Amino acid sequence: MKHGFVKVAAATPDIRVADVAFNMERIMDDISEACRIGAKILVFPELCLTGYTCSDLFTHDVLLNAAKEALLETARYTADKDILVFVGVPLEIEGKLYNVAAALNRGKILGLTTKTFLPNYGEFYEMRQFSPGPKEARYIHFEGDRIPFGPCILFQSTVMENLIVSAEICEDVWSPIPPSITAALEGATVIVNCSASDETIGKDSYRRELISGQSARLIAGYVYANAGEGESTTDLVFGGHNIIAENGTILKEAKRYHNEIICSELDIQRIVAERRRNTTFQTEECRTLIKVPFYIEKGKTELTRTFPKRPFVPADETARAQRCEEILTIQAMGLKKRLAHTNARTAVVGISGGLDSTLALLVTARAFDMLGKDKKEILAVTMPCFGTTDRTYQNACEMARQVGATLKEVPIADAVNIHFRDIGQDPEDHSVTYENSQARERTQVLMDIANKTWGMVIGTGDMSELALGWATYNGDHMSMYGVNASVPKTLVRHLVKYAADDTADEKLKKVLYDVLDTPVSPELLPPKDGDIAQRTEDLVGPYELHDFFLYYMLRFGYEPSKIFRLAEMTFKGEYDNVTILKWLETFCRRFFSQQFKRSCLPDSPKIGTVALSPRGDWRMPSDACVSVWLKDLGNVSLKENKEDE
C-alpha cells in the first residue's frame, strides 16, 4: 500500500434465486479468489445472498432467517482473511425489512448500510417488500453486537489514514442527491455500490457514464458490483456489468453477461492530492457520520493498472486529432486577442527549422486567418549562425514561403563575434557563454525588428523546456507572447504532425514531415560533417521521460520515488532503472534550480491541466530547495521491480 495504492475488486458470483446456502458458498469462493489476487476491498451485488429477484419471497421468515445465518457465517469466514467485504443481504431490523450492504472484516460485521432510495417505477417495485433506510445512521444491537445501521457509514483503514470507504446501494447513485455525496464531503475516498441494475438497450452506456461521472464529481474511487447471470429471468436480464472508476476514469470494466471478478488499484494518494488542490471540494469535519475502523495489512500491492507513456497525448487516434485541433485553436485564439488588443501590424517569429518554431509559425498563421490579416505581415526571421545546418535552414525558409509569411534572413555570426571581442570571449571556447550569446543576439534581433515594424515577437519555447530551464535567460526564454508555453514537447510533435496530415499543400506537408524527422537541437555548436552536433536529448535526457515526470509531479504532487516506480513499470524494456533514475534526478534538480526563469515568463495561453505560468498555475519561490525530493529519491532501489512492502 506504499505510494497510496489499494487493490479493489467487484465480483458477480454465480447464484440461484432463494438458494441461500448455494449463494453463500459461491460468495465465499469469490472472497478466497479476491484474497488470492491481493484485493483489499471486495464488493458483491445487491441482495446477492438471496438473489435480488426473490420478490414476495422476501416476506417469508424462512428466507430471511437463512439470509441472516448466511451473513453471520460469511462474516466468520473472513476471520483469517485480509480484506474488507461488502455483501448485499435482506435484513429485518426492528420489525421492518431493509435492503442492506453489510461490511465484513476480520470475522465481524462492521456495519449495515441501508438503501436510501427504493425504486418503485417501471420494472422495479421494491417498496412492496422493503422500507427506505433511516435518514441518519445509528447504532443497533444485532446478534449480540452493537453495530452501526443506516446510510453513509464511514469505514476507515487503521493502516492507511486516507482510505475511507462508504457504501450505497444501486438506485442510490441514480438519484438526484446520492448518499455518496454526503460521505465524500465527510472524507470518504472510496465509494462502493452493491447493485442489481438490469440490462435494457443502451443502459450500459448510461451506467458507465453515471459511475465514471460520479467518481469525477466526488474525486473518489468508485467500485460498482452488479447482479448477473443466475438472477430470475421472469421479466429481466442482469448482465454483471461491474465497473471500477477513479476520478472520472474507468480503470476496469467487466464483460457483460459473464459473471466474473474484476480488480484494479485505486490511487488514494492521487485522490487526496486532487481534492487538496481543488478548493471547491470542501470536505467537512465529521460530526454526523459514524466512522468505523477496519484492519487490512500494509502489504504488497502488485500493480495491474497501466499508466500512459505520454500522459499529455491521447492514445486514440481520433481523440488525438480532436485534441490537436482544439489546442491549435486555443493557441491561435490567445494570439488573435493579443494582436488585436495591441494593434500589432506584424508578428515576428524566429524560425530555426525545429519543432517549436514550426508550431509557433503555424499558430501565428491561424491567428492571422482568424483576424483576416494578410499573412505577408508575418515576419519569419531566420538567423543562421555557427551551428546552423543546411537542412534546418532550408526547411525554415521553405516553411515560411509555404505558409505565406515574409521571409527575412539576418545572419548573426558577425554580430556575435564582435560581442565575443567586446567581452573577451575566445571563439574557440564553446562554453555556455558561446551558446547563450547566440540565443540572446537572436532575441535582440527579433525585438528590434518588432519595434521597427510595429509588431510583436511570438515566443516559441515549450513547457518541457521551461520545466527543465532549457532556455537562455532573456534569450529564447523571452518574447512578447509565448504561444507554446503550455505545450509539452511530446505534444508539440503531435501538433506538427496533425498540421502536416491536415494540410492539402504537398510542399508544406513535405517540409513538416522533414522537421518531424530532424533531431531536437538548439544548433548552437558548429556542425560535424554538415550534421547537427548538439542533440538536446543526449544532454538533458529523453523528453518522453521528462514529460512523464512533469505530469505526475505537477498534476498530482507525486513523490519522486512513486514517479520512479510508475516510470520503471511503464517504460520497461525501453529504459533501464539506472537510466530512469539518472534523468529523474536531473529533472528534479533542474526543475528547482531553474524556477527563476519561470518566475518572469511572458503571457501565454493555458491549454491543459498542467501549466507553469507564475501568475495562475505554478507559484514557487525561485530559491526553493530540492533536498527533500532528492532524499525521497534516495530510497529507490535499482534492483528489479521490488513491489512495495
Q: Which residues are the active-site residues?
A: 46, 115, 170
Query: How far apart, in whole angstroms, are the C-alpha atoms of residue 137 and residue 123?
Result: 29
Which cell is 510 given?
Answer: 513535405
* Residue 468 burial (10 A CB sphere; 0-12, 13-18, 19+): buried
Reduced to 3 states (helix: H, G, I; strand: E, B; else coil), residue 2 is helix
| CA separation for the pair 480, 566 (Å, rounded) | 38
Rg (CA), the chain: 30
Cβ pair 404, 376 in contact under 8 A: yes
Confirm if 393 and 382 have CB atoms less than 8 A apart: yes
Q: How far is CA 342 from CA 335, 454, 637, in A?
A: 11, 10, 54
C-alpha cell at 121: 417505477
First-to-last C-alpha distance (Å) of the chain: 7
SS3 43: strand
Do 291 and 186 form a contact (C-beta atoms < 8 A)?
A: no
d(CA 441, CA 48): 74
Cell of 634: 534516495
Strands 249-253 and 243-246: antiparallel
Distance between CA 62 and CA 89 in Å, rounded? 14
Residue 289's nearest CA partner among 148, 169, 170 is 148
Could you tell me which of 177, 180, 174, 60 has the C-alpha nearest to residue 124? 174
In the sheet that holds 291-294, the strands lie side by side as 249-253, 243-246, 221-226, 190-195, 164-169, 154-157, 291-294
Laid out side by side, the sheet with 261-267 consists of 138-142, 145-150, 108-114, 96-105, 84-93, 41-43, 5-11, 261-267
| Cα–Cα dist 152/136, whole Å | 8
If you ran DSSP here, which 8-state letter would residue 231 be given? B
Distance, in Å, from the CA atom of 20 to the CA atom of 321, rounded to the nearest integer, reads: 53
Alpha-carbon span 467 to 583, nearest angstrom: 13
Report the side by side order of strands in the sheet with 378-382. Answer: 406-409, 378-382, 346-350, 455-459, 481-482
Measured distance CA(324)–CA(314) in Å, rounded: 10
Residue pair 379/354 in contact (Cβ under 8 Å)? The answer is: no
Residue with cell 533501464: 576
Distance of CA 537 to the CA centre of its chain: 25
Which residues, including other chains, have CB under 8 Å from residue 235's CB and lie 6 or more apart?
123
